[in-house]
């Protein structure tokens, strides 16, 4: 049977299975506890046992002083819980508490759900995990040392695996190098994280995610994070695409809405020609505003929601203007503008 662990001072709780370390269970539950090496060497995952039976599992290089041992200091990455427990430890609550990291990740898989989107799956070594808060971005560095910023499309609760949604064009040199196995590109450099498009975890307001095309990437990370935290308020995802095949993870979204009572998925498609003159901007604004008005009408009043918008800059501005006019609370509007 799983044991329940409570962290202080946050009062966050998580369940830990028999064969898991405290660190693995905390990360799986979406908590941003402090850690580094994951193997008992750096001492960054220190915690103090307030109550409960905690047992060491595996070798650790890090040495506690006698006083620290007496005070109940342990390493989360090297201990398991034999009973329910209460621990005191550091958790990141803000993006500036996450250190900048540089590491190499293995390219596990590249999917092509449509002609113009690639999904890149990477895996970091067990001893060098990527620490970030859901919704943040990192730089991917290809074999020619060129780099480009992308949102991580997965949740840190899956600590070793990352996903990136990449708008694709065959003549893009950066991407050709990144995806070319003939160049021996079985790995990719990662540097980060940066960005502050993160979930307002303490808020109990209903959540409305607006994603446009591959702007879905950071939103997917936020949704997975919200689910790992088991948030109880309603969560709506409005995913707008400018083409019929643009909801490239439609089945994934459908499966969440089938499985999770408080998650609702609204895929929308609009006619969006490239914006080159004011007339087309007006047409696009009208198209987006019309579909948003229809989709959000049942959610009224919008001022009660936390609204997260992830779209390229022009579209983000249109959405922001729509929600401002529709009465949303602008202090609860959160914007991300993915790279192209
Ligand atoms: S993460 Fe380095 S000792 Fe636990």
pLDDT grade for 274, boundaries at 50, 70 and 90: low
* Residue 35 beta carbon below 6 angstroms from any ligand 1 atom: yes
Helix axes 250-259, 216-228, angle to 10 degrees: 20
Mean pLDDT of the chain: 92
* Residue 120 beta carbon below 6 angstroms from any ligand 1 atom: no
Q: What are phi and psi of 56, to 5 degrees?
A: -70, 140
Q: Within the chain, how many helices (H) and strands (E) appear?
A: 7, 18
CA of 324 to the centre of ligand 1 (A): 45
3-class secondary structure, 299: helix
| Chain Cα centroid distance, residue 157 | 9
Nearest to 240 by CA among 288, 196, 275: 288
Instruction: Tell me what pLDDT residue 301 has.
Output: 95
Instruction: Tell me what pLDDT residue 211 has.
Output: 98
Element (H, E) at 13: strand 13-16
Interatomic CA distance for residues 3 and 144, integer angstroms: 48
Q: Which two tokens stand for residue 180?
A: 């070319």
pLDDT grade for 19, boundaries at 50, 70 and 90: confident
- Domains of the chain are 3-91 (3.10.20.30), 96-194 (2.40.30.10), 207-336 (3.40.50.80)
Instruction: Tell me what pLDDT residue 340 has.
Output: 41
Residue 26 clears pLDDT 50, i.e. is over it = yes
Instruction: Tell me what pLDDT residue 181 has.
Output: 65
Whole-structure pTM value? 0.90
Residue 29 clears pLDDT 70, i.e. is over it = yes
CA of 105 to the centre of ligand 1 (A): 19
């Amino acid at each position: 049977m799983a044991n329940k662990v409570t962290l202080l001072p946050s009062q966050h709780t998580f369940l830990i299975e028999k064969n898991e370390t405290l660190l693995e269970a905390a990360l799986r539950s979406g908590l941003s506890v402090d850690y580094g090496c994951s193997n008992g060497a750096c001492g960054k995952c220190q915690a103090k046992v307030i109550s409960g039976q905690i047992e060491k599992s595996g070798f650790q290089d890090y040495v506690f002083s006698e006083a620290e041992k007496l005070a109940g200091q342990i390493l989360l990455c090297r201990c398991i819980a034999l009973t329910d427990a209460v621990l005191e430890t550091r958790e990141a609550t803000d993006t500036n508490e996450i250190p900048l990291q540089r590491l190499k990740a293995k390219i596990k898989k590249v999917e092509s759900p449509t002609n113009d989107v690639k999904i890149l799956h990477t895996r970091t070594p067990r001893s060098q995990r990527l620490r970030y808060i859901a919704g943040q971005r990192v730089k991917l560095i290809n074999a020619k040392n060129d780099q480009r910023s992308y949102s991580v499309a997965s949740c840190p609760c899956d600590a070793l695996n990352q996903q990136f949604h990449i708008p694709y064009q065959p003549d893009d040199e950066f991407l050709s190098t990144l995806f070319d196995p003939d160049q021996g590109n079985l790995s990719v450099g990662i540097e980060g994280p940066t960005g502050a498009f993160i979930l307002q975890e303490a808020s109990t307001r209903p959540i409305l995610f607006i994603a446009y095309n591959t702007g879905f990437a950071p939103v997917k990370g936020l949704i997975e994070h919200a689910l790992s935290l088991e948030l109880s308020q309603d969560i709506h995802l409005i995913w707008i695409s400018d083409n019929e095949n643009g909801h490239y993870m439609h089945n994934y979204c459908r499966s969440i809405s089938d499985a999770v009572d408080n998650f609702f998925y609204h895929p929308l498609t609009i006619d969006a020609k490239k914006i080159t003159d004011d007339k087309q901007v007006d047409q696009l604004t009208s198209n987006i505003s019309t579909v948003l008005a229809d989709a959000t009408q049942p959610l009224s009043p919008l001022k009660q929601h936390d609204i997260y918008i992830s779209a390229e800059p022009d579209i983000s501005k249109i959405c922001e203007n729509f929600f401002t006019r529709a009465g949303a609370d602008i202090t609860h509007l959160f914007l991300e503008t993915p790279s192209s």
